[in-house]
Amino acid sequence: MDTEEIYREMANSIVSLDQEKAVHLANQALDESMDLLQVIEKGFGEGIRKVGDLWDEGEFFLPELMSGAQIMEKAVDIITPGLQSSGSERQSSGKVLLATIEGDIHSIGKTIVATMLKANGFQVVDLGTDVKAEKIVDEAIKGDIDIIGVSTLLTTTMVNQKKVIDLLNQKNIRNKFKVIFGGAPVTQGWVDECGADGYAENAVESVKLVKELIQ
C-alpha cells in the first residue's frame, strides 16, 4: 500500500466507524515512522470531516457523529506520544494558553494544536472546553501568559471568542497579550473584525504563527 492509500484507509476507518481498523492503522503509522501530522490532516482528519459532512447532509445522526469522534480521539491518543517526541526545535521562551470558548465542547483540534506547540518547546496551559472569556482572561493574568489561543468550531459561539478581546480592552490590558483564534469557521475577516492578532488553519500553521508573534 502506498502512503496515499494508507491515508485513504485511515479516513475510511473513521467514516465506516471501524475502531479496530483505526487503532491498527494508528499503530502502523507509529511503527513505520510516518509523518504523523499528515496522518492526522490527510488521514484520520479527512475522515472526521467527512463524518461531519454526512451528518450535515442527514446521512449520519448524532450517535454516528459521536462514535466517529470517539474513534478519531482514540487514533489521536495513540499518535500523540509520537508527535510530542517529533519536536526538533527547543525553545523555552513562550507560554501559550489554549481554550475552547464557552458554549463549545469541540476539543480534538485544540488538543492537537496544544500537542504541536509543546513538541516545539512552548509551555502550554490547556483550560479545556466550554471556557468562559472571564476565566480565560483571569488565567492568562495569573499564569503570566504570552499568547492566548481561543478555539471554536461552532458559528454560534464565534461571538464568544470576541468577548476575550472585549474583556482585555475593558481591563486595559489588551497590549499585555497576543490573542489568536482557531477553528474551522474562523477567517482572517473575523480576526480583523475582532481585533485579534492572527489565526491559523491547522496545527503546523499554529506553530508558525506563535513563533512569529513571540518574536
> With respect to ligand B12, which residue has the nearer C-beta, 6 or 180?
180
190 lines the binding site for ligand B12 (CB under 6 A): no
Contact string (CB under 6 A) for ligand B12, positions 94-113, x = contact: ---------xxxxxxxx-xx
87 lines the binding site for ligand B12 (CB under 6 A): no
Q: In the complex, what is the shortest distance from the CB of residue 132 to ligand B12, in angstroms, rounded to a whole number?
A: 14
Q: Are 42 and 12 a contacting pair, CB within 8 Å? A: no
Q: Which of 27, 155, 170, 188 forms a contact with ligand B12 (CB under 6 A)?
A: 155
153 binds ligand B12 (CB under 6 A): yes
User: Among residues 19, 52, 121, 139, which is the contact residue for ligand B12, using CB under 6 A?
Assistant: 52
Per CB under 6 A, 180 contacts ligand B12: yes
Locate all alpha helices (DSSP H) within 32-132, ordered by sequence: 36-38, 45-56, 62-86, 108-119
Among 43, 47, 82, 149, binds ligand B12 (CB under 6 A): 149
Residue 66 binding ligand B12, by CB under 6 A: yes
The minimum distance between CB 120 and ligand B12, in angstroms, equals 13
